[in-house]
Structure 1
């Protein structure tokens, strides 16, 4: 790993966005995914869920109904910043439109395939950003090798992360909402300490377990700075999401939001990787 001096918060953001300025092609993945989700199909499992008495009978909090309204094609945007995402709102022009799913024999294979490709696209996107941050020479073969390895690792990590919301939903559906509420704060704390796990996966090129350990180490050794970048990235992301949503009321506004989101979100992703790379290099140097 390349060693570099620690940058402050402003310097980290500046370096992250300057990397995007030098390699604007990094914006293409979120833009293309957003355009596909905008013009492409919007498939939900709402009819399938709502027509199943066994499902509706335990839907005490409307969670099943909410999940049923999500666009399953949004799985192509796993860990890729998009404006359209899982929404089924049709903003003109729409090419294909609504395609409801009525059979689990279709849903399960479709969701599996979309998740596989979604993780793959995310690995391509983040691997290219990590290579740009580390100023690695461009090599198609090397990139493909990193992407394939990252896809295997990221898939394991994604499954582990998915277990958390599934557990929370299960608790709520079974009537244990109080327990789910009590678990919220510990989960949020754990999420903060694991904030750089995905960055570690791509920047340090390690497996999920080591990535989490590195992420935890960075937060532990640089708590104040880590909290700062965490808050900045989170607050900017949430604030810009509101702005993009307000813009995406017509075709021109949606296109503007898609490009703007790709730029800001990719810059923040790069900045987070820069922060992680600086701190983990320092930590590893100190620990010999």
Structure 2
């Protein structure tokens, strides 16, 4: 007989908190990744970024002040960007605080940077690191799913990792194609009426946003129920369709909490050892929110299946 009431947002968060609090090893992966991105070597692309921006800076009609401002922005981005941050393929992979901060200094001094100049090498390294990050993220979520459902029989970890890598690159390619199509639609609409182009922009953004919401539980199906990528995408769509308000509520609370707490984690300077406390807090919260999402997905899926059987 189906339960009269499915698991709620705060019950899911509580379940996630309980699992992580009783198994602290679950948040070790994001903590280790952050320590590596903070204290370890960096792969820089400063000269590569400068070579990309050079033609734009030499454009005729660009005033000196504009060129100076653009050049400064390009220099700042190039100096701080760390290609190793591709190991954090959020929201699918391992979450990281330092992947966003990209510090130039640590308590050990200036970071040791290795410059990558050739465009082909930059692309290959980025693809390889993203694939590794997705695979590591799959095992990270695998451990979380096993903790949330200790009696469940999960599929092989290597298969889940392969599927997560495939899903990650499918999302990337699909995002590029969808973004390109939206840009073309905006350009065509702007030619007709500038205000119409703005409307098309917001419409395209809304469509992509809701597509992401409906597919948000695809990794959960892959990891928890050993599903293929297409099957997991389909089941995620169905589950969100029947639980839209509560799903939006969970995502709002989770992403809102994660975003607001990042302001707290950013308070310590990257040159201070107190940043370790921020990294621990970030790893714990991020893992708790992810574990809560697995509790939510599992509970809602089983409730929906029981309701269908009862009908």
- Matched with 2:158 is 148
Shift of 1:266: 0.2
8 A contact 2:37–2:98 mirrored in 1: yes
Written as runs of structure 1 = structure 2, the 5 A alignment for 1:21-60 is 21-52=21-52, 56=56
8 A contact 2:30–2:95 mirrored in 1: yes
Equivalent of residue 217 in structure 1, options 238, 241, 250: 238
Identify if the C-alpha distance between structure 1 residues 275 and 250 changes in structure 2 by more than 3 Å, giving closer, same or farther. Answer: same
Unaligned runs of 5+ in 2: 63-69, 191-196
**Counterpart Cα distance in 2 of 1:261 and 1:52:** 34
8 A contact 1:29–1:125 mirrored in 2: yes
Using the size of structure 1 for normalisation, the TM-score is: 0.84
Structure possessing the higher radius of gyration over alpha carbons: 2
Q: Which range moves more in the overlay, 185-194 or 94-103? A: 94-103
Shift of 1:171: 6.5
Identify if the C-alpha distance between structure 1 residues 42 and 221 changes in structure 2 by more than 3 Å, giving closer, same or farther. Answer: same
Shift of 1:264: 0.5
SS at match of 2:104: coil
Residue deviations 1:126-155 (CA, integer Å, cap 9, x gap): 000001111148xxxx98x62211111111
**Counterpart Cα distance in 2 of 1:153 and 1:88:** 29
- Matched with 2:96 is 82
8 A contact 2:141–2:223 mirrored in 1: yes
Identify if the C-alpha distance between structure 1 residues 67 and 279 changes in structure 2 by more than 3 Å, giving closer, same or farther. Answer: farther
Using the size of structure 2 for normalisation, the TM-score is: 0.78
Shift of 1:116: 2.3
Q: Which range moves more in the overlay, 82-91 or 148-157? A: 82-91
Identify if the C-alpha distance between structure 1 residues 48 and 118 changes in structure 2 by more than 3 Å, giving closer, same or farther. Answer: same
- Matched with 2:251 is 230
- Matched with 1:19 is 19
Identify if the C-alpha distance between structure 1 residues 170 and 50 changes in structure 2 by more than 3 Å, giving closer, same or farther. Answer: farther
Residue deviations 1:177-236 (CA, integer Å, cap 9, x gap): 945554111101111112222222212221221111111111111122112111111111
Written as runs of structure 1 = structure 2, the 5 A alignment for 1:143-222 is 146-167=156-177, 168=179, 176=187, 178=197, 180-222=201-243
Identify if the C-alpha distance between structure 1 residues 50 and 91 changes in structure 2 by more than 3 Å, giving closer, same or farther. Answer: closer
Residue deviations 1:226-274 (CA, integer Å, cap 9, x gap): 1211111111111111211223444233211110001001000000110
**Counterpart Cα distance in 2 of 1:260 and 1:16:** 15
- Matched with 2:194 is none
Q: Which range moves more in the overlay, 45-54 or 22-31? A: 45-54
Shift of 1:40: 1.4
**Counterpart Cα distance in 1 of 2:51 and 2:212:** 36
Unaligned runs of 5+ in 1: none
SS at match of 1:89: coil
Residue deviations 1:42-101 (CA, integer Å, cap 9, x gap): 2232311321478748999x8x95975532101112221111015432232247522221
SS at match of 1:246: coil
**Counterpart Cα distance in 1 of 2:263 and 2:132:** 28
- Matched with 2:303 is 282
8 A contact 1:20–1:266 mirrored in 2: yes
**Counterpart Cα distance in 2 of 1:170 and 1:186:** 12
- Matched with 1:70 is 81
**Counterpart Cα distance in 2 of 1:173 and 1:87:** 33
